[in-house]
Structure 1
Amino acid sequence: MSVTRDDVRHVAQLARLDFSEEEEARMAEELSEILGYVEKLDELDTAGVPPMSHVLDVTNVFRSDEIEERIDRGQALEPAPDADNEHFLVPQVVE
């Protein structure tokens, strides 16, 4: 696939980028090369390759959920400089 300078200008406009004429030409050439490499992947026979979500065979490493002793709401709010029965009260930051 060949990327034109018009394509580069369009993408640059969407990304709010400003390229010089020289940079546009270089970007068009580099993007064409990158897309050429991606097109080579279409030549691979992947019929027997199962889909995967990750290159490495990794498993979930989350710890199991366990019920732990917690302090109750009253104990948590006790040292607060300002609180009601359920919440910490803080000064308004955003108007």
Structure 2
Amino acid sequence: MSLDQNDIAKLARLARINIAETETAELSERIGDILNMVDAMQAVDTANVVAMANPHDAIQRLRADEVTESNHREKFQQIAPQTADGLYLVPQVIE
């Protein structure tokens, strides 16, 4: 896919960047190469490819999900300005 100077000017305006007219030819070629690469990647048949989470088939060791600290809610809420039913009450800021 090739881009002309009008396409480059439109992209520059949308991206809010300043591109000198002397750079548009090179930029057009570079963006065209990227778009050709994307087209080539989209042409690959991936229907029978299984998705993977890790390219090395590594398995991450996870620790057991255990509670390691005691509950200090009542201690912390003693110094709070206002609480109700175990929740902190705050002033309403949005009407």
Interval of TM-score (by shorter of Structure 1 and Structure 2): 0.5 to 0.7
Consecutive unaligned residues of structure 1, counting only runs of 5 or more, are: none
Deviations 1:21-71 (A, max 9, x none): 122222111111122233333564x36741425561355655453345532
- Give the TM-score, by structure 2 length: 0.60
Decide which structure has greater strand share.
2
State the partner residue of 2:88.
87
- Give the TM-score, by structure 1 length: 0.60
Q: In structure 2, do the counterparts of structure 1 residues 40 and 11 end up closer, same or farther at CA, with 3 Å as the change threshold?
A: same
State the partner residue of 1:30.
30
Alignment of structure 1 residues 5-84 onto 2, 5 Å: 5-41=5-41, 44=44, 46=45, 49-52=48-51, 54=53, 56=55, 57-59=57-59, 63-78=63-78, 80=79, 83-84=81-82
